[in-house]
Amino acid sequence: MISSNLKRAGYRSLHTSTQKTILYGWGQTQALPLTKGHLDRVFQQPTNLQKEHDYALPKDQIVTHVSSGWGHSLLRTQDNGVYAFGLNQSGQLGTCAVDTHKVDVKNTVKLLSCGREHSHIVTENKENGDTQLYSFGNNMYGQLGLGKNKNTTPGQFIKEEKPKLVDFPDKITHITSGLDNTIFATDRNTLHGMGWSADGQLGQGKDDKDVPSPLQLSLRVKKLSSSTDFTLALDVNGRLWTWGNSEYGQGVQGKVIDRILEPLEITNVEGQVVDMAAGGPFSVLLTENGNVYTCGYGALGLGKDKIQTLKSSQIKGLTNVSKVFAATDFAAAITTSGELYTWGLNGPSCRLGTGSSQHAFEPVRVNIDKEVIDLSLGTNHAFAVCAA
């Protein structure tokens, strides 16, 4: 029996308990935990990865954390091992480009987060509860929070090929990454951002930041979500905030706003919001009665004839939903019975997991023979953790 607390704990980066689970993956296999993953090797529907001949994780270890970026992934196993797969042109795998998938970490891994070409690992000292933030990968916009960017050393490619400790004293509770920016929350109810902010991605104006910089917003965060160039922040009382790009109405303000430079509260949703996910040009919201709403532009789940809405609109046919997820061009939902639905733009990667490359303008039930607990969506790949 899967606990209700676990079912309610969805993130773009999934974190599960150590109950017995099975890891499924689909889409482009280069970012899956396989020794022979490749852009041209595609799984059209969810595949039990442990049954693949080239499964690259220890088979006796349960996967407890997964984060998916643009073309790479980080996975943490029950024994606190962290493994990285996929593209590595900016050092986003953290393995120093040597022939290994294992990332060197100290202390207990608490959180993982992947952006376009950057990564973060948050660890926790079990003796005193303090956290440490390690960053690696592309740092051209300062998204690693290390005090460097493309302007501090002009003409050089700014990157870190192994995890580097960020100077930050407070305890980190949540973290999310957009394309080239990072947002995290602390136990002091503060929010901090670093990286690219041309569209207000940091919630503190248009200027990039290369060290963790505070937003003028105090929240006891339940969840942060970003995948592209805007962020959603949900607090424990169900209040919802947004900042960043909203040129397609994805900020759920009832109108198009080119750039939301400081946090704005979202108040025009029917019902109490209990989960949410930030796609590229759209948002997905889940209310306490299990209904799903969307706002913005794209294959929104509202049918072929409705590809844009400036107000939160209910996705018909999705009921009893427990979690929602989104990447740049597609979205997903898990029901209380563990069924998986996806919708959005598809393509050669078959990232929707439906067995074809066709777009889905309405939610499609994904054929998976286990009860789905949690998901992590990358740009062209995805993971599902299922009950054994």
Whether 4 shows a pLDDT value over 70: the answer reads: no
Report if residue 277 sits inside a domain.
Answer: no
For residue 239, what are the contacts with CB-CB under 8 A and spacing of at least 6?
219, 265
Once rounded to an integer, what is the mean pLDDT over residues 373-387? 97
pLDDT at 13: 59
**Is pLDDT above 70 for 11?**
no
Question: Is residue 131 included in any domain, yes or no?
Answer: yes
Which H, E and C letters describe the chain, residue by residue? CCCHHHHCCCCCCEECCCCCEEEEEEEEHHHCCECCCCCCCEEEEEEEHHHCCCECCCCCCCEEEEEECCCEEEEEECCCCEEEEECCCCCCCCCCCCCCCEECCCCEEEEEEECCCEEEEEEECCCCCCEEEEEEEECCCCCCCCCCCCCCCCCCCCEEEEEEECCCCCCEEEEEECCCEEEEEECCCEEEEEECCCCCCCCCCCCCEEEEEEEEEECCEEEEEECCCEEEEEECCCCEEEEEEECCCCCCCCCCEEEEEEEEEECCCCCCEEEEEECCCEEEEEECCCCEEEEEECCCCCCCCCCEEEEEEECCCCCCEEEEEECCCEEEEEECCCCEEEEECCCCCCCCCCCCCCCEEEEEECCCCCCEEEEEECCCEEEEEEEC
Tell me the C-alpha distance between 98 and 120, whole Å: 19
Mean pLDDT value of segment 355-372: 97
Residue 43 within any structural domain of the chain:
no
What's residue 96's pLDDT?
Answer: 86
Residue 48 contacts by C-beta under 8 Å, 6 or more apart in sequence? 22, 23, 24
CATH number for position 106: 2.130.10.30
What confidence tens digit (pLDDT) does each residue in 101-134 have?
999 998 999 999 999 999 999 999 999 999 999 9
Q: In the predicted model, is pLDDT for residue 1 greater than 80?
A: no
CA distances 121 to 20, 67, 98, 132, 246, Å, are: 24, 10, 19, 8, 29
The angle at the Cα of 48, spanning 47 to 53, to the nearest 5 degrees, equals 100
What tens digit of pLDDT does each residue of 268-304 get? 999 999 999 999 999 999 999 999 999 999 999 999 9
| pLDDT level of residue 18 (50, 70, 90 thresholds) | low
Question: Dmax over Cα atoms in the chain, in whole Å?
Answer: 56
Instruction: Taking the CA atoms of 318, 319, 320 and 322 in sequence, report the sign of the dihedral they define.
Output: positive
Looking at residue 57, what is its pLDDT?
Answer: 97
The reported pTM is 0.94
Band of pLDDT at residue 6, cut at 50, 70 and 90: very low
Q: What is the pLDDT of residue 314?
A: 98
Sheet holding 230-235: strands in order across?
221-226, 230-235, 240-246, 257-266
Sign of CA dihedral 210, 166, 30, 101: positive
* Residue 197 pLDDT grade (very low, low, confident, very high; cuts 50, 70, 90): very high
Domain membership of residue 9 (yes or no) is: no
| pLDDT exceeds 60 at position 17 | no
For residue 91, being part of any structural domain is answered with yes
pLDDT tens across 139-174, in order? 999 999 999 999 999 999 999 999 999 999 999 999
Give the pLDDT confidence of 207-219 residue by residue, as tens digits.
Answer: 999 999 999 999 9
Q: Is residue 54 part of a domain?
A: no
**Which pLDDT band holds residue 97 (cuts at 50, 70, 90)?**
confident
In this structure, the strands spanning 240-246 and 63-68 are unpaired
Give the tens place of pLDDT for each residue, 38-59: 999 999 999 999 999 999 999 9
- 7 falls within a domain: no
- 117 inside domain: yes
Q: How many domains does the chain have?
A: 1
What's the domain range around 200?
61-218
Q: The tokens of 321 are what?
A: 């939903």
Confidence (pLDDT) at 99: 79
Q: 298 is written with which tokens?
A: 């794209």
